[in-house]
Structure 1
Amino acid sequence: MHVTVDKASLLRELDEEYTVSPEAIAFYRKNGYVKLKNVLSPDVLQYYGDVITQLVLKLNTLTKSMEERTTYERAFLQIMNLWREDSTAREFVFSRRLAKIAADLMGVDGVRLYHDQALYKEPSGGFTPWHADQFYWPLSSPKTTTVWIPLQDTPMEMGPLAFAEQSQSVEIGRNMEISDESEQVLQEELTSRNFHVNDTPFELGEVSYHAGWTFHRAGPNTSDVPRKVMTMIYMDQEQTITRPINTYQEADWTTWLESYPIGSKPESALNPLLFRKQ
């Protein structure tokens, strides 16, 4: 049976405001992440999820077998900046609804896009090691956040994202790339310091936001279907570019910030303003 999509209603939903409770904002600022239910409807996730999946299949270049891959490669297929590849994907990435939540959680007047990325953990895909995203970003302020949007129900066997609560405020492991070593060292460090880890399933329509320095990981996908996730990274509109301190930040500065001058705001065409308070 062919179902007609009411595109106007989908676009309206992506633009409409989602009210973030004061409790959710306080939780995010204390713990470095928050999970929010019913942020996106099944219709939006189905429609845009299909488009994102088609782009992942089209653009993916990782064709090695699982046995041949590194730990990082086994964790997921990773496709960046879908918004520049497809106008429909752009509608989703540029969602004012999702960008305003980011601004509300961080307590800023506006947010720019750093970049988007689809993260597809294949059946038999491995775990994602403990890491903090901002290790990779040449940005001066911790006011960054990533929205993690599962495109399906995500039970434990599919490897939902897990967060070490309040880890954004401690300077441990900030010099570690995502690797087997980061998994081991950070697991030991987080355990010894008694960090509480939130490792729970995601319902359809539930999303999470986590700060750039919040440590997070994901288990393997032991189900027989892909764990499909779309993410967008937001930064405070007042963010400035700092001098890269590792090769990953050098690459990010060139790739995602168009080598804009050190000390300036990342205002290139690659980093559009997605929300600003009126």
Structure 2
Amino acid sequence: MSADEQTALLPALDSHYEITKAQVEDYQEKGHVLLRGIAAPNEVAAYEPVISDCVKRLNNHNKPLEERDTYGKAFIQIGNLWKHSEAVAKFSLARRFARIAADLMGVDGVRMYHDQALYKEPHGGHTPWHQDQIYWPLDTDKTITLWMPLVPISEEIGSMTFASGSHKKGFINRMVISDESHKTLAQYIDGKGFEQWTYGAMAAGDATFHSGWTVHSAPGNPTDHMRKVMTIIYIADGLRIAEPQSNSHRSDLASWFPGLGPGDLAASPLNPLLYSRSQNG
């Protein structure tokens, strides 16, 4: 069977997943929300091997865990998988997920920023406190990340921990994921009195969504099993690229908005429109 034939057999992810007004309000107030079963067990079972094979093929980690820095111990991180595999693209560009993102943010439509596999290895380290959006050359609060386990996550491994309401502060500092960001943002969270919220165990196909400005972290993986997570980052359609303020901004501008610059619409060929209410209903 050819790769195209195999891709055609993967389940379509275009059906509508209904979210409630309360869930939208919860997301907008806290900066995060958990939605159960946005992908059915048979759907996750079909896509997990495809995504995992792509991660294995593209992974360039060649050092043992104990020889890596904190960031390197946190996870195997592979971005833009959808450009490397038509099968993965069928997952990452899914209309169902994109519509949820648009509904939670209250926008007409969303574009892909990029997807990322985040596979935390057995006995891998924690992910320090950070804000995703310090990397992104966008001046907006209309960004959101889907975080979906492709395998069951036990209470022992746990899902991410969020500082509820921290997204309302917007930009806090420019610290990239590091021991320093973990220490400094932990002090900030305590000082501001933000509630630390975790959803604990999650089934494959459950997903959290969090704002680009929501401060969050993740525990290490104390088990002998890989924590397999797929993420998709969405941006509201119609956003424009901001003037880069850091090396992280400049790096992301080159990587995810090739050929574009400050003031341009954030709509390169790497940022396809995935859902539009005015176009799709």
Q: TM tier, shorter chain?
A: over 0.9
* Displacement after TM superposition at 1:190 (Å): 0.6
* Residue in structure 1 matched with residue 35 of structure 2 by the alignment: 36
**Residues 31, 166 of structure 2: 8 Å contact kept:** yes
**Whole-Å Cα distance in 2 between the matches of residues 172 and 39 of structure 1?**
30
* Displacement after TM superposition at 1:130 (Å): 0.3
* Residue in structure 2 matched with residue 145 of structure 1 by the alignment: 144
Deviation string for 1:21-80 (max 9, x for gaps)? 000000000011110011111111111111110111111001101111010000000001
Farther-moved stretch of structure 1 (117-126 vs 162-171): 162-171
**Whole-Å Cα distance in 2 between the matches of residues 6 and 59 of structure 1?**
19
CA RMSD, Structure 1 to Structure 2 (Å): 1.5
Structure 1 unaligned residues grouped into runs of 5+: none
**Residues 132, 213 of structure 1: 8 Å contact kept:** yes
**Whole-Å Cα distance in 2 between the matches of residues 215 and 201 of structure 1?**
20
Deviation string for 1:147-195 (max 9, x for gaps)? 0010011123224211110010125633211100111111121122221
* Residue in structure 2 matched with residue 254 of structure 1 by the alignment: 254
* Residue in structure 2 matched with residue 240 of structure 1 by the alignment: 240
Question: For residues 269 and 171 of structure 1, do their structure 2 counterparts lie closer, same or farther at Cα, with a shift above 3 Å needed?
Answer: closer
* Displacement after TM superposition at 1:138 (Å): 0.1
Deviation string for 1:212-241 (max 9, x for gaps)? 000010000001100000000000001110
| Matched letter for residue 37 of structure 2 | N
**Residues 10, 44 of structure 1: 8 Å contact kept:** yes
* Residue in structure 1 matched with residue 3 of structure 2 by the alignment: none
Secondary structure of 1:230's aligned partner? strand
**Residues 10, 47 of structure 2: 8 Å contact kept:** no
Question: For residues 6 and 246 of structure 1, do their structure 2 counterparts lie closer, same or farther at Cα, with a shift above 3 Å needed?
Answer: closer
* Displacement after TM superposition at 1:120 (Å): 0.2
**Whole-Å Cα distance in 2 between the matches of residues 90 and 59 of structure 1?**
15
**Whole-Å Cα distance in 2 between the matches of residues 66 and 215 of structure 1?**
25
* Residue in structure 2 matched with residue 85 of structure 1 by the alignment: 84
The residue correspondences of 1:154-193 to structure 2 (distance < 5 A) are 154-171=153-170, 173-193=172-192
Structure 2 unaligned residues grouped into runs of 5+: 1-5
Secondary structure of 2:34's aligned partner? strand
| Matched letter for residue 116 of structure 2 | Q
* Residue in structure 2 matched with residue 213 of structure 1 by the alignment: 213
* Residue in structure 2 matched with residue 61 of structure 1 by the alignment: 60
**Whole-Å Cα distance in 2 between the matches of residues 96 and 238 of structure 1?**
18
**Residues 115, 233 of structure 1: 8 Å contact kept:** yes
Secondary structure of 2:144's aligned partner? strand
* Residue in structure 2 matched with residue 24 of structure 1 by the alignment: 23
**Residues 153, 202 of structure 1: 8 Å contact kept:** yes
**Whole-Å Cα distance in 1 between the matches of residues 172 and 127 of structure 2?**
16
| Matched letter for residue 163 of structure 1 | F
**Residues 32, 208 of structure 2: 8 Å contact kept:** yes
Give me the identity figure in percent. 41
**Whole-Å Cα distance in 1 between the matches of residues 173 and 22 of structure 2?**
28
**Residues 141, 240 of structure 1: 8 Å contact kept:** no
* Displacement after TM superposition at 1:92 (Å): 0.2
**Whole-Å Cα distance in 1 between the matches of residues 239 and 105 of structure 2?**
12
| Matched letter for residue 126 of structure 2 | F
**Residues 147, 229 of structure 2: 8 Å contact kept:** yes
Farther-moved stretch of structure 1 (44-53 vs 71-80): 44-53
* Displacement after TM superposition at 1:259 (Å): 3.5
Secondary structure of 2:11's aligned partner? helix
* Residue in structure 2 matched with residue 71 of structure 1 by the alignment: 70
Farther-moved stretch of structure 1 (150-159 vs 252-261): 150-159
Farther-moved stretch of structure 1 (172-181 vs 32-41): 172-181
